[in-house]
Amino acid sequence: MTEKSTDDLALGQQICFPVYAASNMLTRLYRPALGPLGLTYPQYLVMLVLWEEAPQSVSSLGARLHLDSGTLTPLLKRLETAGYVARARDAEDERRVKVSLTEAGAALRARAEPIPRKLAGDLGLSEAEFEALRRSVWSLVKALETPRGAGIP
């Protein structure tokens, strides 16, 4: 008696679509705030990671953001051109490239500081709704970090 399949393909039934739509919409929401800083949204995420810890290798940035070198290498080159980061081969292990903050890159943090609070306010969600949402979405990321295709005991 499973309702004869309540149309699993309906857009409104999906979990994947609202995540996809919200991601695109958030990128658009951030654009006006990030434009004056000379950053795109993915570049901003890279800076967030570097502001937490620098220098870091390309692969550790990738592990944190779930991005690979094919995406990060050109992005980091643009951040380097912008003067926010420096890239140099690690002397300890010549395979690695260490990405460090320039003075301008470190200073940019102060200008980025008000952005999260301001944009969170633009959402018009209550503090409780916001917290619940943040926990929910992080739990989805955790679930996605655990591969299931092969099955787990």
Partner DNA sequence: CGGGACCCAATTGCGTGCAATTCATTTCGC
Partner DNA sequence: GCGAAATGAATTGCACGCAATTGGGTCCCG
Residues that bind a second copy (CB under 8 A): 5, 8-11, 13-27, 29-30, 32, 41-42, 45, 48-49, 51-52, 64-67, 109, 112-113, 116-117, 119-125, 129-130, 132-134, 136-141, 143-146, 148-149, 152
Distances (CA, A) of 8 to 4, 11, 12, 78: 11, 8, 9, 42
Q: Name the strand (E) or helix (H) holding 99.
A: strand 97-101
Rank residues 28 and 148 by Cβ distance to DNA and give the closer one: 28
Closest CA to 61 of 107, 51, 19, 111: 51
Please, what is the minimum distance in Å from the beta carbon of residue 97 to DNA?
A: 4
Helix (H, G, I), strand (E, B) or coil at 91: coil
Rank residues 45 and 106 by Cβ distance to DNA and give the closer one: 45
Rank residues 24 and 73 by Cβ distance to a second copy and give the closer one: 24
Rank residues 33 and 58 by Cβ distance to DNA and give the closer one: 58
How many Å apart are CA 3 and CA 16, to the nearest integer? 22
The answer, yes or no, to whether the previous bond of 55 is cis (omega within 30 of 0) is yes
Helix (H, G, I), strand (E, B) or coil at 95: coil
Question: Which partner in DNA, a second copy, none is near 97 (CB below 5 to 8 A by kind)?
Answer: DNA
Question: Which partner in a second copy, DNA, none is near 82 (CB below 5 to 8 A by kind)?
Answer: none
Question: Which partner in DNA, a second copy, none is near 95 (CB below 5 to 8 A by kind)?
Answer: DNA
